[in-house]
Amino acid sequence: MEGMAMFKFGIEFVPTDVYWKVIYHAIQAEKAGYDYVWITDHFNNRNVYVLLTNIAVYTNKIKFGPGVTNPYMIHPIMTAQSMASLNDMAPGRVACGLGTGDKTTLDMVGVERAKPLAAVREAVRIIRDVTTGKAVKLEGEVFKVAGAKINFKVANPIPIFVGAQGPKMISLAAEVGDGVLINASHRKDFEDAMGHIKEGASKACKKLDDLEVVAATSFSVHEDAAKAQKAATIVAAFIVAGSPEPILQRHNISIEAANKLRDAIAKGMWKDVFANVTPDMIEAFSIAGTPDTCIEKIDQLRKIGVTLFITGSPIGPNVRDSINLIKNKIIPHFK
């Protein structure tokens, strides 16, 4: 298929499961033809670097990294050290996903997401300088670094993927990152994002071809469409509850409906959560259905400019079966 050779697939795991299950699925993903495996980074799940170290040991070629870490909980200098150390174990296979973090979990520990644009810009600079052997001197708005460097060499550049949602952060991600990682699955979101990506790339005199444009999606596949959609319901609920107003408006979802979900989630009223998620919400915030439906939607994103597609939680009603389905029916269509 012409023009499709460069299209890549990633898989994202939230390490709520015991570590060996996540490692098992990472090995399975490598065998299925995935290019990347990403592990989310929140203090209330298993530690991202413990899992990535195991993935480095038990896999041979798949690329991997935190998807995404943030500069507020962990100082970028420590992220740089972790990335460089992983690269020692698996040279050329490490990628760093970086974003502003999850407000809910940061609030729990009293960490404020101050000056997000400056924090991300400075963090990218620190990580990039440290992992390329430079001594960092930075008198930033958020970070002050006086000549810090690591005492060992990194054999190759470590790409930095910047997680972004709003227009300014999407533009910044394209300007300073090697990849722009957008948590969205609908063509409307990417049609809107491409303009901001082009704007950021032109600021840094980059071509679009120099960037990975990443769709990190809530994904669920099963031969039975209803089963795929049922598995995606709870994830769609959390996305709607956490989405800013402009994004809800773009998908014609009312603030009242989002507030109802937020309230039900906060109270742990899961029956109400399931009852209040509409098919439109699942359509707007996930790709869920049969392999053919998923192929069609992934292809829409590819045509808009997405170059790396990440299948995120829940992946399907049964993760192992869904990865096999992706391996047999979906990835071959694009490779």
- Please give the distance of CA 192 from its chain centroid, rounded to a whole number: 18
Question: Averaged over 42-64, what is the pLDDT?
Answer: 97
From the CA atom positions of the chain, what is the Rg in Å? 19
Tokens encoding 63: 């690329």
Residue 321 has what pLDDT? 98
Residue 176 has what pLDDT? 98
In this prediction, residue 1 has a pLDDT band, given cuts at 50, 70 and 90, of: very low
Q: Is residue 156 part of a domain?
A: yes
Tokens encoding 102: 């999850």
- Please give the distance of CA 4 from its chain centroid, rounded to a whole number: 22
Task: Yes or no: say if 119 and 92 are a contact pair by the CB < 8 Å rule.
Answer: no
Q: Is residue 260 part of a domain?
A: no
- Of residues 104 and 91, more confidence is placed in 91
Domain enclosing residue 82, as ranges? 8-226+287-334
Q: Is residue 72 part of a domain?
A: yes
Task: Yes or no: say if 28 and 52 are a contact pair by the CB < 8 Å rule.
Answer: no
Q: What is the mean pLDDT of the chain?
A: 96
- Exposed/middle/buried for 318, CB within 10 Å: 0-12, 13-18, 19+? middle
Nearest to 304 by CA among 209, 198, 190: 190
Q: Is residue 178 part of a domain?
A: yes
Instruction: Say yes or no to pLDDT of 4 above 60.
Output: no
Domain count across the chain: 1
Placement of tokens 């829940």 in the chain: 314
% pLDDT > 70, the chain? 99
Nearest 10 degrees: Cα torsion 124, 130, 136, 139: 20
Q: Is residue 139 part of a domain?
A: yes
Q: Is residue 261 part of a domain?
A: no
Tokens encoding 100: 């502003």
For the stretch 201-255, pLDDT in tens is 999 999 999 999 999 999 999 999 999 999 999 999 999 998 889 999 999 999 9
Residue 199 has what pLDDT? 98
Measure the CA–CA gap between 44 and 252, rounded to whole angstroms.
Answer: 33
| Phi and psi angles of residue 75, each rounded to the nearest 5 degrees, phi first | -60, 140
Tokens encoding 194: 């491409």
Tokens encoding 248: 């809800």
Task: Yes or no: say if 88 and 139 are a contact pair by the CB < 8 Å rule.
Answer: no
Measure the CA–CA gap between 312 and 219, rounded to whole angstroms.
Answer: 5
In this prediction, residue 2 has a pLDDT band, given cuts at 50, 70 and 90, of: very low
Measure the CA–CA gap between 78 and 215, rounded to whole angstroms.
Answer: 27
Tokens encoding 162: 């910047």
Task: Yes or no: say if 225 and 279 are a contact pair by the CB < 8 Å rule.
Answer: no
Task: Yes or no: say if 49 and 20 are a contact pair by the CB < 8 Å rule.
Answer: no
Question: Averaged over 57-80, what is the pLDDT?
Answer: 98
Question: What are residue 38's DSSP bridge partners?
Answer: 12, 65
Residues 6+ apart with CB under 8 A from 112: 72, 106
Question: Averaged over 148-165, what is the pLDDT?
Answer: 95
Instruction: Say yes or no to pLDDT of 62 above 90.
Output: yes
Residue 200, helix vs strand vs coil: helix
Question: Averaged over 171-199, what is the pLDDT?
Answer: 97
Nearest to 52 by CA among 158, 175, 180: 158
| Phi and psi angles of residue 78, each rounded to the nearest 5 degrees, phi first | -75, -35
Q: Is residue 147 part of a domain?
A: yes
CATH of the domain at 103: 3.20.20.30
Q: Is residue 235 part of a domain?
A: no
pTM across the whole model:
0.95
Return the biggest CA–CA distance within the chain.
57
Tokens encoding 180: 């722009």
